[in-house]
Amino acid sequence: MAHAETDAQGRILAADGTPLKQSLQRALRAQKMRALLLIAPLLLFVVITFVMPIGDMLLRSVQNKAGTHYVPDLIPNVAEQIEDWDPASGELPPEEVFRAMVVDLQVAFDEKNHTQLGRRFNYESPGMDSLFRTSGRRVSGLDLETDGPFREALIDINDDWGDLEYWATIKANSGYYTNSFFLAAVDMERDSTGIAQKDPDQRIYRKLLVRTLWLSAVITFCTLLLGYPVAWLLADLPARKANLLLILVLLPFWTSLLVRTSSWKILLQQEGVINDFWVWLGFVERLSLINNQLGVVIAMTHILLPFMILPLYSVMKTIPPSYLRAAKSLGATNWTAFWRVYFPQTTAGIGAGGLLVFILAVGYFITPELVGGADGTFISNRIYFQFSAIGNWGLAAALGTIMLVVVLVLYYVYDRLVGIDNVKLG
Amino acid sequence: MADGASSDAFVEFERVQKSYDGETLVVKDLNLSMPKGEFLTMLGPSGSGKTTCLMMLAGFETATHGDIRLDGTSINNIPPHKRGIGMVFQNYALFPHMTVAENLAFPLEVRGLGKSEREEKVQRALDMVQMGAFGGRRPAQLSGGQQQRIALARALVFEPELVLMDEPLGALDKQLREHMQFEITRLAHELGITTVYVTHDQTEALTMSDRVAVFDDGRIQQLAPPDVLYERPENSFVAQFIGENNTLEGVIKEIRGETCIVQLDDGEIIDANPVNVTEPGERTKVSIRPERVEYNMDRLQEGAHTLKAEVLEFVYMGDIFRTRLRVAGNEDFVIKTRNAPDQVRLKPGQQIEIGWLPQDCRALDA
């Protein structure tokens, strides 16, 4: 080092006079290219099947689309005319807006888009679906030259065109982007006076979100409680026995998730094995173990248990038994030796297992769907319902985005509290 | 030195046996007695039962049969944490999530000592191993030798009367190991603690101990001070295991009190000191240390038997010369000579005659 050549800027030079850094980079370039080529297939796969769908989801949560078209592209004239109208004035929009609606609806009807529009607005104000569906044909029969004024004409076709709330909804959702899906996802809505909470009996998503997080936390705790001793036993046994037991831990993975969940149904139901045994023991009342939160916790704890045991095991295996012996030789009781010496060294495994189980649980779908009943469903079940049964992709995407953000926030908090470097998966 | 079940014994093993599988005995009929303040080393090859003995004393293994007593009371049923025995582990077993000071405070804390008393004792123990400034560090930030010192300090901080050490210097390099050997013996003697030290390194055993117990096959083969062990091994295992040793095989011809005549397998006759041979006609392994072989005939006694030898190899080792010979068919016969100004340097191919004092050549069991 002391005798290495340097150039005018003080950079160290290689033997041929090029800067050492540049020379090193050149030497490593081939190696880097080869590494890149090796990961390219997976990278491509992840980008196409993971990053792009998530990006699409994030976009859909704010895009104001009816079917495949943006709403303002379907009602361009209305979108332009309604801008100056203030719903707070308490008056219906001016004649130009009604005329614009007739013009846009005629085009939409010709291209068979008016029902999509109706469904889009219906998400915000129930009833607008039928308003658009029923009005389509009759509006297309109007003559723009002769049949004005169109305010009366439209109200004549359907009284609901005179409803101020409906026009407010149209105004609020006439842009390319909207926050209405996110508002709906947190049980809020926009009425003529601004943004407000939904009626208490219509609030579901916040409750579902809290329930999902709470049950996931309970499940994580249960897997820790059951998995910790098992992992310890595994780490303590000689390799041959440990491997055999490890296979037993992994055995559930060889059975379909659906089969495992269904078998819990058989075990836990009213006339199921456990209840029959309960009654045989002499109890009169049968337990309701399924189609509620208890059922979800039992079944998911079982299903997610390996994800807790494996990281714990891999961490515990690296802790030599001499630590416990040392603690005892220094005068610690079994419990003190465990709690002060062994346990602190396993926190990395608890962190890894806990994070893994919690994040898996938060997104779980099949098990809560099958054994959750009415009060045991997770937010993922609602997301599925929104896009498969209702077709409201925007709301489903907004809910998904919120879940993503919540998990990322939790991850961040965890990182600040525990430090992600302390997490060991193997 | 006390033996058997003497009353002033501090640590006692009486007829102790240990089996892990119920089929083979790892420790067979162990009897050992240590007075207070002694530094005793258990030396032996791996699998000889020495570590098992230490673990039984510490309480991590239970004796299958027999009695282990500490200061007169049987400790067979006392759990390890109530025995009050300090222990230094092979890889130190310093708790990685605690600082050095916390590690040292741990045994005091579980004993319920107050904060100020703890801090004082911790500091004193750290100063004792010259690590006074390292209390705030984590074990991972220390070098091997420093970790070793901390492990020692932790085992001593609660002032136990008995300290066990399980190959504590195994992970250190040679120079540091020699330094720590000295350090440990100094501390042990200064503090007057009784020490049981386990190692497979014979140099360590010889340099550190008051007495050495040589283990093999689950038994103590010989229990003696280092000089006795080296100079007067009682059987061929000890002779082979301790130090470098030349072995010649033969048959006892005649025993005359302190000396005997041995006829080697190639017919040569030598003088030897009968140790654990009794009858003429018995097979024997005679053992002679490389530095006790003489090839300067002037120094031999009148009428001593000598052997012909051929020099095979000469190795210059600095302080000594190591010469390999062919003697009575044995091609691994080694002699060591001091590098003195007048010393002869033998050359390969040279034919010489060698001999020794009869008392240096020990006729042992075959």
What is the CATH number for B270? 2.40.50.140
Q: Are A193 and A294 contained in the same domain? A: no
Domain span at residue A269?
A: 205-422
Q: How far is CA A270 from CA A121, A261, A286, A297, B132, in A?
A: 43, 16, 7, 17, 69
Q: Domain total for chain B?
A: 2
Instruction: Give dist(CA A284, CA A311) in Å, integer.
Output: 42
Instruction: Give dist(CA B357, CA A375) in Å, integer.
Output: 97
Count of beta carbons in the 10 Å neighbourhood of residue A259 = 10
Q: Are B190 and B267 contained in the same domain? A: no
Whether B286 and B259 have beta carbons less than 8 Å apart is answered as: no
Q: Are A406 and A267 contained in the same domain? A: yes
Residues near B332 by beta carbon (within 8 Å), at least 6 away in sequence: B246, B324
Establish if A164 belongs to a structural domain. yes
pLDDT (0 to 100) of residue B3: 44
In tens, the pLDDT along A151-180 reads 889 999 999 999 988 998 898 889 999 989
pLDDT (0 to 100) of residue A49: 94
Q: Are strands B39-43 and B194-199 parallel, antiparallel or unpaired?
A: parallel
Half-sphere exposure of B358 (CA within 13 A, CB side): 20
**Best mutation site among B81, B104, B118, B164 for testing chain A: the one with the most A CBs within 10 Å?**
B81
Instruction: Give dist(CA B140, CA A186) in Å, integer.
Output: 49
What is the CATH number for B146? 3.40.50.300
Q: Are A44 and A88 contained in the same domain? A: no
Whether B309 and B290 have beta carbons less than 8 Å apart is answered as: no
**Best mutation site among A329, A339, A340 for testing chain B: the one with the most B CBs within 10 Å?**
A329
Q: Are B186 and B253 contained in the same domain? A: no
Q: Which residues of A16-50 are buried (b: 16+ CB within 10 A; e: fewer)?
A: eeeebeebeeeeeeeeeeeeeeeeeeeeeeeeeee
In tens, the pLDDT along B136-177 reads 999 999 998 899 999 999 999 999 999 999 999 888 888 888
Nearest residue in B to A347, CA atom = B97
Judging contacts by C-beta atoms under 8 Å, the chain B residues touching residue A332 are 81, 106-107, 110
Q: Name the domain boundary from A201, A216, A251.
A: A201
Q: Are B217 and B278 contained in the same domain? A: no
State whether A345 and B97 contact (CB < 8 Å): yes
DSSP string for B211-260: EEEEEETTEEEEEE-HHHHHHS-SSHHHHHHSS--EEEEEEEEEEETTEE
Q: Are B223 and B280 contained in the same domain? A: no
Q: Are B208 and B110 contained in the same domain? A: yes
Instruction: Give dist(CA A297, CA A317) in Å, integer.
Output: 29
Establish if B217 belongs to a structural domain. yes
Nearest CB to B81 within list A323, A331, A345 = A331
Statement: residue B242 has pLDDT above 50:
yes
Mean pLDDT (chain A) is 89
Instruction: Give dist(CA A116, CA A170) in Å, integer.
Output: 14
Count of beta carbons in the 10 Å neighbourhood of residue B149 = 23
Establish if B1 belongs to a structural domain. no
Whether B202 and B48 have beta carbons less than 8 Å apart is answered as: no
Interface check for B106 against chain A (CB to CB < 8 A): the answer is yes
* Residue B74, beta-bridge partner list: B69
In tens, the pLDDT along A322-349 reads 999 999 999 999 999 999 999 999 988 9
Interface check for B182 against chain A (CB to CB < 8 A): the answer is no
Interface check for A327 against chain B (CB to CB < 8 A): the answer is yes
Domain span at residue B268?
A: 244-365
Average pLDDT (A379-399) is 91
Whether A130 and A145 have beta carbons less than 8 Å apart is answered as: no
**Best mutation site among A330, A336, A418 for testing chain B: the one with the most B CBs within 10 Å?**
A330
Q: Are B20 and B129 contained in the same domain? A: yes
Q: Tokens for A350? A: 């608890």
Q: Name the domain boundary from A168, A184, A201.
A: A201
Q: Are A244 and A261 contained in the same domain? A: yes
In tens, the pLDDT along A131-143 reads 999 998 888 888 8
Judging contacts by C-beta atoms under 8 Å, the chain A residues touching residue B158 are 330-331
Question: Which residue from A289, A256, A303, A301 is spatially nearest to A371, judged by alpha carbons?
Answer: A289
Cis previous bond, A149, omega within 30 = yes
Instruction: Give dist(CA B166, CA B196) in Å, integer.
Output: 9
Helices marked H in A125-282: 128-140, 150-157, 164-172, 180-185, 205-236, 239-250, 257-268, 273-280
* Residue B69 φ/ψ region, left for φ over 0, alpha for ψ in the -120 to 50 degree band, beta for the rest: beta
Q: Are A364 and A377 contained in the same domain? A: yes
3-state SS class at B355: strand
Question: Which residue from A346, A341, A339, A343 is spatially nearest to A315, judged by alpha carbons?
Answer: A346
In tens, the pLDDT along A41-97 reads 999 999 999 999 999 999 999 999 988 899 999 999 999 999 888 888 888 999 999
Q: Are A256 and A399 contained in the same domain? A: yes
Q: Which of A270-274, A384-388, B119-123, B254-258 shows the lowest mean pLDDT across its residues? A: B254-258
What is the CATH number for A273? 1.10.3720.10
Establish if B110 belongs to a structural domain. yes
Q: How far is CA A11 from CA A4, A15, A24, A25, B155, in A?
A: 10, 13, 13, 14, 52
Half-sphere exposure of B91 (CA within 13 A, CB side): 10
State whether A329 and B97 contact (CB < 8 Å): no
pLDDT (0 to 100) of residue B154: 95
Statement: residue B2 has pLDDT above 50:
no
**Best mutation site among B60, B98, B103 for testing chain A: the one with the most A CBs within 10 Å?**
B60
Interface check for B93 against chain A (CB to CB < 8 A): the answer is yes
Nearest CB to A329 within list B80, B95, B96 = B80
Average pLDDT (A276-293) is 90
For chain B, strand residue ranges (E) read 9-18, 27-35, 39-43, 65-70, 73-74, 85-88, 162-166, 194-199, 211-216, 219-224, 246-256, 259-264, 269-274, 283-288, 307-316, 320-327, 330-338, 351-354, 362-365
Question: Which residue from B36, B44, B29 is spatially nearest to B9, judged by alpha carbons?
Answer: B36
Shortest alpha-carbon distance between residue A246 and chain B (Å): 24
In tens, the pLDDT along A226-248 reads 999 999 999 999 889 999 999 99
Q: Are B202 and B257 contained in the same domain? A: no
pLDDT (0 to 100) of residue B39: 95
Q: Domain total for chain A?
A: 3
Q: Are B34 and B174 contained in the same domain? A: yes
Half-sphere exposure of B154 (CA within 13 A, CB side): 33
Q: Which of A294-303, B298-307, B336-345 shows the lowest mean pLDDT across its residues? A: B298-307
Q: Tokens for A125? A: 């104000």
Q: How far is CA A375 from CA A32, A208, A263, B154, in A?
A: 53, 9, 20, 56
In tens, the pLDDT along B209-232 reads 999 999 999 999 999 999 999 988
Q: Tokens for A330? A: 């220094």
pLDDT (0 to 100) of residue A67: 85
Average pLDDT (B54-79) is 92
Q: Are A328 and A183 contained in the same domain? A: no
Judging contacts by C-beta atoms under 8 Å, the chain B residues touching residue A344 are 97
Q: Are A281 and A404 contained in the same domain? A: yes
Q: Give percent above pLDDT 90 in chain B.
A: 53
Q: Are B222 and B249 contained in the same domain? A: no
Q: Which of B212-221, B292-301, B307-316 shows the lowest mean pLDDT across its residues? A: B292-301
Q: Are B231 and B251 contained in the same domain? A: no
